[in-house]
């Protein structure tokens, strides 16, 4: 079967295409209902404000929250910054994990440069946090715990409910990057015990440049805004609201909620098929294997082959070496390094992420073409 000219997208953890239903929901707010949601004196503003509030309800419903607890941002990175910089002080202490997305790690580094103490929890070879180590890291000046729900490179799922219980026991707010969880594996605010949760639209078939932050009631007055301007979004995210983007995110959340369980089951079967085929390649290993992982993400290493070369060989298949924010670097992934994977092996890694437009046939093509690419590269290396 000749598949070399078929373009195949398997990088859904980097971004997703906008669902046609989402696009249709957005279009009127570019032309017909183009008003500023802050314009309270006329019908154009009222229509825009109503659309924003409807979207706020749709986002809240997806995570089991109240609409008044949702503010809109430009994406998860901004949401994380609002959460961390809004709570941290230069005499405080933050606990996070070495495998977090750079949106967390680099924000923590900025805070550390201003005097905040940062503890980076390690993980084991499967990418799991030791909860005893987490609790032992709490100090009198600890201000928050920040742990992601699903790792964006390996798909490893952290026990957010248990972490939330530890945070509650010590009266600490829990910040969660739920970018790769919401709308995929499911994420419920009440079950998680989280106080601040970052969400992204473009990971769930919504538009880019829009995200949200869930804020627990007890955190509303505690958060310090780090931008100055208008009073939009409780004063925490001033500036004219991106109404078309917000409408698109709301619709994407509605669609995700309606198909959540069915799509999860379908993707889980596809991942099982993919991993069975990939593990048939000599010297292949799945990172985080046999631990709790998202079915949407598979991270693989191939002994003796650079992941970068595998990706170049597969010009027709869109896959990556890890996070889209760092996939143009040649250094080993900080996530895999934290999992104690040797540098040479970490450099052989590729990430395959499945989405709602992935078919069983696509998986067959990927298995065959990845197998051929790895075998061809190994022959060259002999």
| Tokens (6 digits) for 211 | 């995200």
Q: How far apart are CA 288 and CA 124, in angstroms?
A: 10
Residue ranges with strand state E in the chain: 8-9, 70-73, 93-97, 117-121, 142-146, 174-177, 196-200, 211-215, 284-286, 297-302, 317-318, 350-353
Q: Angle CA(309)–CA(313)–CA(319) in degrees, nearest 5?
A: 80
Told to judge if 253 belongs to the known catalytic residues of this protein, a careful annotator would answer: no
Q: Angle CA(150)–CA(155)–CA(161) in degrees, nearest 5?
A: 35
Q: How far apart are CA 372 and CA 370, in angstroms?
A: 5
Beta bridge partners of 101: none
Among 108, 146, 253, 325, the one annotated catalytic: 325
Strand order in the sheet with 350-353: 284-286, 297-302, 350-353
| Tokens (6 digits) for 353 | 């992420």
Strand pairing category for 297-302 and 284-286: antiparallel
| Tokens (6 digits) for 48 | 């825009």
**Catalytic machinery residues:** 325
């Amino acid at each position: 079967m000749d598949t070399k000219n078929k373009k195949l997208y398997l990088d859904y953890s980097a971004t997703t295409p906008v669902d046609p239903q989402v696009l249709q929901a957005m279009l009127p707010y570019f032309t017909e209902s183009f008003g500023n949601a802050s314009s309270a004196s006329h019908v154009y503003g009222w229509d825009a404000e109503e659309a924003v509030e409807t979207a706020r309800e749709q986002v809240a419903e997806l995570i089991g929250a109240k609409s008044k607890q949702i503010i809109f941002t430009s994406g998860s990175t901004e949401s994380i910054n609002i959460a961390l910089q809004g709570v941290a002080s230069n005499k405080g202490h933050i606990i996070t994990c070495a495998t977090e997305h750079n949106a967390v790690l680099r924000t923590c580094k900025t805070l550390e440069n201003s005097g905040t103490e940062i503890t980076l929890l390690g993980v084991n070879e499967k990418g799991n946090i030791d909860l005893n180590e987490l609790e032992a890291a709490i100090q009198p000046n600890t201000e928050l715990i920040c742990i992601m729900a699903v790792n964006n490179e390996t798909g490893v799922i952290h026990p957010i409910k248990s972490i939330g219980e530890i945070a509650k026991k010590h009266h600490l707010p829990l910040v969660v990057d739920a970018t790769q969880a919401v709308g995929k594996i499911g994420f419920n605010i009440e079950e998680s015990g989280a106080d601040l949760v970052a969400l992204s639209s473009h990971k769930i078939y919504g538009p880019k440049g829009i995200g949200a932050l869930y804020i627990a009631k007890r955190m509303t007055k505690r958060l310090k805004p780090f931008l100055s301007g208008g009073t939009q979004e409780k004063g925490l995210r001033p500036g004219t609201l991106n109404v078309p983007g917000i409408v698109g995110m709301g619709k994407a959340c509605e669609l995700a909620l309606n198909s959540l369980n069915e799509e999860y089951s379908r993707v889980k079967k596809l991942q099982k098929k993919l991993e069975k085929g990939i593990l048939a390649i000599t010297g292949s290993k799945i990172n985080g294997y046999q631990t709790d992982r998202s079915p949407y993400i598979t991270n693989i290493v191939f002994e003796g082959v650079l992941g970068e070369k595998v990706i170049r060989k597969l010009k027709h298949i869109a896959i990556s070496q890890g996070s889209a924010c760092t996939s143009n670097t040649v250094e080993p992934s900080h996530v895999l390094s934290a999992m104690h994977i040797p540098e040479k092996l970490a450099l052989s890694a590729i990430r395959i992420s499945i989405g709602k437009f992935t078919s069983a046939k696509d998986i067959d093509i990927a298995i065959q073409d990845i197998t051929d690419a790895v075998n061809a590269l190994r022959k060259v290396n002999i």
